Structure 1
Amino acid sequence: MFGRRSAAPSATPPPAASPATAAAPVSAPPPTRATDLDQRLSDIKIAIFNDLIDSVDPTELGRLEPAQVREEISDIVAEIISMRSLILSAAEQQVVIADICNDVLGLGPLEPLLARDDIADIMVNGADKVYIEADGKMELTDIRFRDNAQLMNICQRIVSAVGRRVDESSPICDARLGDGSRVNVIVPPLAIDGPTLTIRKFKRDKLTLDKLVEFGSITPQAAKVLQIASAVRCNILVSGGTGSGKTTLLNCLTRYIDEAERIVTCEDAAELQLQQPHVVRLETRPPNLEGAGQVTMRDLVKNCLRMRPERIIVGEVRGPEAFDLLQAMNTGHDGSMGTIHANTPRDALSRVENMVAMGGYNLPAKAVREQIASAVNVIVQAARLRDGSRKITHITEVVGMEGDVITLQDLFVFEYEGEDSRGRVLGRHRPTGLRPAFWDRARYYGLDRALAEALSDANA
């Protein structure tokens, strides 16, 4: 498949070994520092990787299964090591083979981080700095890329897998990994210190409301109320700041949608993981090089109204599509859901009102608020606290209008009580004792007794 390659051009042939020393290969003196060893292995990887690229046909590899490709690459790398007469221990050879396979097939140095399920975010700030968020805390790792070219190559591989591109002419891109993890890439000239890659990882084990109860994010009674609200087709907005767990919570709520319902999802990067059999997933598209062909979130929401959906789920409401979603909620698509960036339930409604105005609608403020009050039933507020934990801080209902003001009532509120000796935030989810406005809806679906029991247990 490839020609025999010599060792590094500047190297001189090793002297012939005497019989007494024939068993011991001649090699350079062992490195005295870990950094020397890392640099030596890095140089070896670069040389082998260049030989590999010259030796294989990417088209042929693309026709094989990933496991077969990895096996083929491992064999070729082992042969290159032998041809170059490189002195490597068995462990070092395995490290080199694994790293090169990750470069060709995966995300290079990031592969070990993707395998860890305790990491929520991976943040690459150029080739030399890789941060992670684990257990709510930011950490600098010892992961490094060879150079910015290797990092750029991996960024391009990620975005091209979902039909997008990133380069100097299009330096910002949102994409996703195969498991649904969200990816953002920004490259020079906008990113001054080299390509910047941010990955919001998804856990392999899909979280449920029961898991959130175990983590202390919510009480069992409040979780039961949310489960019933989803099952009885309340229109729900999940509100929260960046990294507060909005998408995770939205995934949890969708588990209680009936399997017979037709669901259409609209997202910028498809990351929702719905379990129902009848799901249609739609994704926006950026403009091409000529600036044409863009498909916006608003285009998707408008189109899905023609697709006979029973529920519309918008991954993130952030623009004029808010008006079309409100229209859908008010015209028979009960049970629709979406996430929105806001710090409180009241702020979430204000943001919806502002986003409707972004669409250029010249409507009176009262008319817009009446639309919001009749469309949205429940707001679930998520927050990331200062100790890194995530809590559901409010379960709030929209109950109508009083004059020009939308009326809200809290069903559950998280009350801060201090912190323990380890700096962890302490508090409790307090029920307000109010009867939910969706009680009649729960009775229509035969879940009023379950709702009464959940509220009774919460108030006990």
Structure 2
Amino acid sequence: MSALFSTDLLDRVRERLATADGDPTPATVAAAIRSESGGVLGDTDLLAALRVLQTELTGAGPLEALLAQPGVTDVLVTAPDAVWVDRGAGLERVDVTFADEAAVRRLAQRLALSAGRRLDDAQPWVDGRLPAAGGGDLGVRLHAVLAPVAQAGTCLSLRVLRQATQGFDDLAASGALPGDARSLLERIVRARLAFLVTGGTGAGKTTMLAALLGRVDPGERIVCVEDAAELAPAHPHVVRLVARVANVEGVGAVTVRDLVRQSLRMRPDRIVVGEVRGAEVVDLLTALNTGHDGGAGTVHANSPRELPARLEALAALGGLDRAALHSQLAAAVQVVLHVERDTSGRRRLAEIAVLRRDPAGTVEVVPAWTFGGGVHAAGKVLQDMLLRRDES
């Protein structure tokens, strides 16, 4: 490759393309290269420059092929030469690299722009959502932090969004649902007990929730409220409401809390919140306490015992104090399902728990069934709840 094909040339081409109207096409990129090189590049160097710039300027650049791979859930960049992926069995380093820190920064800023967000020194982090391209059928969730806030260099986190469509049979076949737990879960859904699915990041909370909703009576109307449309249960009557972030001017936001309130006016048999992570917990608990049995949602928590404290923090955002939260929670939710990854990275149902109040009125989460441990003492409490519902 000749000295005419240089970093300086590529920088000049980038500047020219940045001021051009519309998205760059192969023809416009090639024309910009010829113009900035004075027309002296040979065919070999022209094609090399075109390949570098097309990779950089389209899709997710050098990460695009990773996002398109089946089974990939996350792609993470922590340095120009440190790219990691999660294929469902934990993080693994891959041999994809960037030329330098500036290349990672350019990609992060371009992706932020594609998501309609701002990312620069004055606003050095961004959350956004990219449209589906080569990745998930629902697009890609973007998070980025620029240097020097990210001290080692720009950090980029891409989560591939795919609809949760797995059913009970699929989960059982994968080993995620032992037979005794499966029958318990089917009874919980049939009895219209309200439940929350807990777990860490990537543990399979949404997948479990979708599988359970697929067991709801076909005659019931389910209204699902989500931050990103991931739930796709195998059920004939699902209404899906999806939140919207504000635009670059800071207007036009539609929050999950707004949509939970709207769902109450849509004649729901069950109200479901894809992920409870803010003040909407107040409205969800209110809905579950006003005749909407069988509601559900997911909550990020590393163990079922952490759930009350986690909900306390979220409820405080909505102006609900600790005592009121525990009172509402005890009346609204009956069951907690906890999912996790085992040591090999496979997802599984780890625990079925029930909620009870101690003498001080505080809600405790008590195991009724655990993976490998079977039914616990609180299993009788769950059985009694199911029997009462069966008789009513």
TM over 0.5: yes
Q: Distance in 2 between matches of 1:85 and 1:46?
A: 14
Deviation, 1:123, is 0.9
Deviation, 1:292, is 6.6
Superposed counterparts of 1:128-143, under 5 Å:
128-143=81-96
Q: Secondary structure at the match of 1:404?
A: coil
Matched, 1:112 2:65: yes
Deviation, 1:102, is 4.4
Q: Secondary structure at the match of 2:63?
A: helix
Superposed counterparts of 1:76-115, under 5 Å:
84-87=41-44, 100-115=53-68
Give structure 1 stretches of 5+ with no counterpart: 1-6, 12-39, 63-68, 415-427, 445-460
| Greater mean alpha carbon deviation, residues 332-341 or residues 250-259 | 250-259
CA shift in 2, pair 1:47/1:154, >3 Å: closer
CA shift in 2, pair 1:52/1:359, >3 Å: closer
Alignment match of 1:397 (pick from 344, 350, 354): 354
What residue is the counterpart of 2:197 in the other structure?
238
What residue is the counterpart of 1:190 in the other structure?
149
The CA deviation string for residues 276-297 of structure 1, in whole angstroms up to 9 with x for no partner, is: 55423221525856x6766554
Matched, 1:350 2:309: yes
In the comparison of the two structures, how many residue pairs are matched? 379
Please say if residues 317 and 339 of structure 1, whose CA atoms lie closer than 8 Å, have aligned partners that are also in contact: yes
TM-score, normalisation: structure 2: 0.77
What residue is the counterpart of 2:240 in the other structure?
280
Superposed counterparts of 1:306-345, under 5 Å:
306-345=265-304
What residue is the counterpart of 2:160 in the other structure?
201
Q: Distance in 1 between matches of 2:358 and 2:128?
A: 40
Deviation, 1:302, is 3.3
Deviation, 1:436, is 5.4
What residue is the counterpart of 2:329 in the other structure?
372
Q: Distance in 2 between matches of 1:232 and 1:98?
A: 59
Q: Distance in 2 between matches of 1:326 and 1:320?
A: 11
Give structure 2 stretches of 5+ with no counterpart: none
Amino acid at match of 2:386: F
The CA deviation string for residues 87-130 of structure 1, in whole angstroms up to 9 with x for no partner, is: 38xxx96x987765443331111112112223332111133321
Alignment match of 1:155 (pick from 108, 114, 119): 108
Amino acid at match of 1:216: G
Deviation, 1:349, is 2.6
Q: Distance in 2 between matches of 1:409 and 1:56?
A: 61
Matched, 1:213 2:161: no
Alignment match of 2:184 (pick from 212, 218, 225): 225
TM-score, normalisation: structure 1: 0.67
Alignment match of 1:176 (pick from 129, 144, 151): 129
Deviation, 1:205, is 8.2
Please say if residues 221 and 268 of structure 2, whose CA atoms lie closer than 8 Å, have aligned partners that are also in contact: yes
Deviation, 1:430, is 1.8
Deviation, 1:219, is 0.8
Q: Secondary structure at the match of 2:157?
A: strand
Please say if residues 176 and 270 of structure 1, whose CA atoms lie closer than 8 Å, have aligned partners that are also in contact: no
